[in-house]
Homo-oligomer: A and B are copies of this chain.
Amino acid sequence: MSTNRIDIGELGHSLGYLLRIAQVRAYDQFFDVLGEYGLRPGEFSVLWTIHQNPGARHGVLAETLCIKLAHMTKTVRRLEERGLVVRSIPDEDRRAVVLSLSAEGEAFISEHGQLFFGSATYLRHDLSASEEKELVRLLRRFSGLSG
Contact = CB atoms under 8 A, between A and B. Distances in A.
Interface of A: 1-4, 6-27, 30, 41, 45, 48-49, 52-53, 56-57, 59-61, 63-66, 96, 116-117, 121-123, 125-127, 131-132, 134-136, 138-145
Given A11-B52, A25-B144, 11 more contacts: A6-B49, A13-B136, A16-B26, A16-B41, A18-B136, A18-B145, A20-B23, A21-B145, A125-B144, A127-B138, A131-B138
Contact of A145 (B12, B60, B61, B116): B12
Contacts of A96: 2
A22 to B, nearest CB: 5
- Interface of chain A, helix or strand or loop or mixed? helix
Contact of A17 (B8, B11, B45): B45
B20 A41 contact: yes
A126 B6 CA distance: 33
A23 to B, nearest CB: 4
